[in-house]
Amino acid sequence: MKVSLDRSCLERRQVWVYAAAIVVGLALGSRASGAGTVAEALVWPALGLLLYATFLQVPLLDLATAWRDRRFTLAVVVGNFVIMPLVVWGMVPVLPDDPGVRLGVLLVLLVPCTDWFISFTQMAGGDVSRAIAVTPVNLVLQLMLLPLYLVVMAREEVTGLVTVDAVASALGVVALPLIAAALTEKWLDVRQRRHVVRERWAWAAVPLLATVVFLIATAQVDAVLGALDVLPFVSPVFVAFLLAAALAAKALAVAFTLPVTQARTLAFSLGTRNSFLVLPLAISLPQGYEVAAVVVVMQSLVELLGMIVFVWLVPIAYRRRSTGTPRR
């Protein structure tokens, strides 16, 4: 029997790919002396490639497109940058006292996804064109607002952590792929036939993230094993976030009288987070905060399992003509 593997098939099974990468990484880090040092050196270039592949799927040079549908874009902005941050702020008191855990949770939950939420939107019959159009807005706003959110919600955790070296490392691994992706996009737009390059890089996202997760597990095996007693308390927070995102999306869809396909897109935008972007920030934290990166990876796994439910539930919650008559 012939087995056909396409990108959507790979993306639907990615959570098991990442889980396997973690198990293999922990085994290697525990048994092979020196593997952790090598993995720690390789994680930064792997992250750079992952971010480049991610940013290349975002129409970085076409911010104006999103504002052609101001109602949908406004719903996304209000949901991602007002309502969901308030939800996260309300969760802060129930987080464990460990500053690394708290900072990891805040980092990953405060920034909306700019990549795989598009794939899940497509699986659930959402509006893919609007999902693509709004991603540059989400990316720009999260880069601007994340420092403000952290100062307001985690002043004690971030005080003294911001050093020149840490900021330079984190910004470098984000800024360089971002600039490279923007230049590549400009090069791609010159000739239509070059767009196949973007499609090929889209295939690389899952293997690259699996590689990053493997390297983190190998390099931070002690932190991962030490966090096992904390993760059961953090996972319910991530599940609660998904539930809150679903409710917020439903309320906003009604408030903005969004068409069904746009309402489905909004649900995935609010429910998915940009773990790729914050991983460099989590990894660059000083010694004693290694668990922050583990928390970010854990959130990705919980989110991916949650998206399996979302892909089934969202089309039921947003049936045709269920959110009212769309305005013209």
Whether the per-residue pLDDT at 249 is higher than 90: the answer is yes
What pLDDT was estimated at residue 260? 95
- First and final CA of the chain: distance in angstroms? 49
> H or E element: which one contains 74?
helix 70-78
Whether the per-residue pLDDT at 164 is higher than 60: the answer is no
- Residues 111-144: tens digit of each pLDDT: 999 888 888 898 899 998 888 889 888 988 998 8
What pLDDT was estimated at residue 185? 84
What pLDDT was estimated at residue 174? 81
What pLDDT was estimated at residue 5? 54
- Range picked from 119-133, 167-181, 237-251 for highest mean pLDDT: 237-251
CA nearest neighbour of 58 among 109, 134, 110, 6: 134
Cβ atoms of 257 and 327 closer than 8 Å: yes
Cβ atoms of 62 and 133 closer than 8 Å: yes
- Residues 145-154: tens digit of each pLDDT: 998 998 889 8
What pLDDT was estimated at residue 162? 58
What pLDDT was estimated at residue 326? 45
What pLDDT was estimated at residue 204? 84
Rounded Cα distance, 236 and 266, in Å = 23
Rounded Cα distance, 274 and 10, in Å = 19
Phi, psi of 181 (to 5 degrees): -65, -40
Whether the per-residue pLDDT at 180 is higher than 50: the answer is yes
pLDDT above 70 covers a percentage of the chain that reads 87
Mean pLDDT of 39-57: 87
CA nearest neighbour of 244 among 80, 125, 108: 80
Rounded Cα distance, 261 and 121, in Å = 9
- Provide the β-strand partners of residue 112: 273
What pLDDT was estimated at residue 313? 93
Cβ atoms of 224 and 99 closer than 8 Å: no
Mean pLDDT of 233-258: 95
Long-range interactions of 92-95: CB distance < 8 A, separation 24+: 92/153, 92/154, 94/237, 95/234, 95/237
Say which residue, 250 or 204, is predicted with more confidence: 250
pTM: 0.84
Calculated CA dihedral for residues 296, 238, 133, 153, nearest 10 degrees = -80
Rounded Cα distance, 4 and 27, in Å = 31
What pLDDT was estimated at residue 314? 94
Crossing angle of helices 84-91 and 231-255, rounded to 10°: 150
What pLDDT was estimated at residue 15? 79
Mean pLDDT of 262-267: 96
* CA distances from residue 19 to 190, 213, 265, 277 in whole angstroms, order as listed: 40, 9, 27, 20
Tell me: domain 19-316, CATH 1.20.1530.20, correct?
A: yes
Rounded Cα distance, 189 and 293, in Å = 36
Radius of gyration of the chain (CA): 19
Mean pLDDT of 178-183: 88
- Range picked from 77-91, 144-158, 171-185, 287-301 for highest mean pLDDT: 77-91
What pLDDT was estimated at residue 16? 84
Rounded Cα distance, 70 and 130, in Å = 11
Mean pLDDT of 1-28: 74
Q: Is 161 helix (H, G, I), strand (E, B) or coil?
A: coil
Cβ atoms of 22 and 312 closer than 8 Å: no
- Taking every pair of Cα atoms in the chain, the longest distance, rounded to a whole number of angstroms, is 64
> H or E element: which one contains 170?
helix 164-188
Rounded Cα distance, 44 and 211, in Å = 11
Whether the per-residue pLDDT at 6 is higher than 70: the answer is no
CA nearest neighbour of 43 among 225, 290, 208, 177: 208
Crossing angle of helices 260-271 and 116-123, rounded to 10°: 140
pLDDT band at 309 (very low <50, low <70, confident <90, very high): very high
Whether the per-residue pLDDT at 33 is higher than 60: the answer is yes
What pLDDT was estimated at residue 325? 45
Whether the per-residue pLDDT at 2 is higher than 50: the answer is no
Whether the per-residue pLDDT at 328 is higher than 80: the answer is no
Say which residue, 69 or 309, is predicted with more confidence: 309
Say which residue, 236 or 232, is predicted with more confidence: 236
Rounded Cα distance, 309 and 272, in Å = 13
- Residues 185-216: tens digit of each pLDDT: 888 877 777 777 777 887 888 888 899 889 98
